[in-house]
Amino acid sequence: MTSKMTVLIVGSTGHMGSRIAWALAEKKDVKIRALVRNRQTEDVKKQQTIQRLEGLGAEIVEGDVFDIPSLERACTGVDTVLSAISGFQSRGDVIVTGQLNLLNAAKQAGVTRFIPADYSADYFQMQLGDNLVWDQRLTVGQAVKESGLDYTFIMNGGFTESFFAPFFQIFNFEAGTVEYWGDGDTKFDLTTTDDTAKYTAEAVVDPRTINTSFQVAGDVMTMKEAIAAYEEVKGKKLTVHCKGSLDDLKTWIENTKARVRVPWAVVPAQCQLGMALGKGKLHNIVNDRYPHIKPTSVREYLATTNAFDGGGVNKDD
């Protein structure tokens, strides 16, 4: 009889973390330990998530990525630490400082594998300074590689939900407009959060993913193809506006950085620049290994979605 693999999910009450937990709960050889910040939370949605986790047999442990002893306790007896955290807090930034605390605790506790909160494009193609979000992932990713622990980096391109949401500043469905920079002809990858969660559960139990960037995509398309998909599925024409060349976009980003001095203000533009340059494009997509997962194409997503509420987008706490 083989013993079960214990997976600690950090960020289990979040949009991605909870979806990964539902998918992992279907894997019979996995035992889930879920780290939550406050088991007695008054947030009804989070309460329901915790109850559902308990109902699925998950062990609930309280902890916080800025509380080192809580991380040491949570990591004890764990095989794989899977992070799905997000947020900026007064105590520091969760993605870098928080995950480095978690990585250190995992190492001290003898954890075998660490899966950081990536769920992104291939940030190893980026240079520090390209994009605040990717800078954070690069910093953590390098530390994970140097830690001596096994790792898996989950790469799904952008979340389909986020790409069409106001956060990205491309589509404005109320106004019936779409704006982008460049020629709109560069391919990029989009995957829904549910599909990313299902593939992540596969990555956890599939030894082929150890020490790799695990790349999956629900769809691969260009900006012009995404606009055409929307118009075709919804039967509505959008007013399309090209805002300028990619050099114009670079200038816009530098000017805005100097003027606004809030790093997050340029992140959507930095993401658009990365996508339009093909930086971060996934080149080793392994969907075919998991034929039982039928990922949602952009057309299928648009056909079943009316609300573009930014699901899965980073939020401050």
Ligand X SMILES: NC(=O)c1ccc[n+]([C@@H]2O[C@H](COP(=O)([O-])OP(=O)(O)OC[C@H]3O[C@@H](n4cnc5c(N)ncnc54)[C@H](OP(=O)(O)O)[C@@H]3O)[C@@H](O)[C@H]2O)c1
Residues within the interface to ligand X (CB under 6 A): 10-11, 13-17, 37, 46, 64-66, 84-87, 89, 94, 98, 117, 119-120, 158-159, 162, 312-315, 317
DSSP secondary structure of 120-167: BS-GGGS-TTS-HHHHHHHHHHHHHHHTSSEEEEEE--EEHHHHHSGG
Q: In whole angstroms, how close is the CB of 91 to ligand X at the nearest point?
A: 7
Reported residue count of the chain is 317
Strand order in the sheet with 212-215: 59-62, 30-36, 5-10, 80-83, 113-115, 150-155, 212-215
Nearer to ligand X, 23 or 85 (CB): 85
CB of 119 to ligand X, least distance (A): 4
Q: Which residue is nearest to ligand X (CB)?
A: 14
Residues 15-42 as b/e (b if ≥16 CB within 10 A, e otherwise) read: bbbbbbbbbbbebeebbbbbbbbeeeee
Whether 152 contacts 113, CB under 8 Å: yes
**Which are the contacts of 77, defined by CB distance < 8 A and separation ≥ 6?**
6, 109
Instruction: Give the residue with the Cβ less far from ligand X, 288 or 317.
Output: 317
> Smallest gap, in angstroms, from Cβ of residue 117 to ligand X?
3
CB of 16 to ligand X, least distance (A): 3
Shorter beta-carbon distance to ligand X: residue 31 or 46: 46
Closer by beta carbon to ligand X, 48 or else 239? 48
- Of 11 and 295, which has the nearer Cβ to ligand X? 11
Closer residue to ligand X (CB): 42 or 288: 42
Q: How far is the CB of 202 from ligand X (least distance, A)?
A: 17
Q: Report the nearest approach of ligand X to the CB of residue 141 (Å).
A: 12
Give alpha helix (H) positions in the chain.
15-24, 44-55, 68-75, 99-108, 132-146, 160-164, 193-205, 223-234, 246-260, 267-277, 298-304
- SS3 assignment, position 65: coil
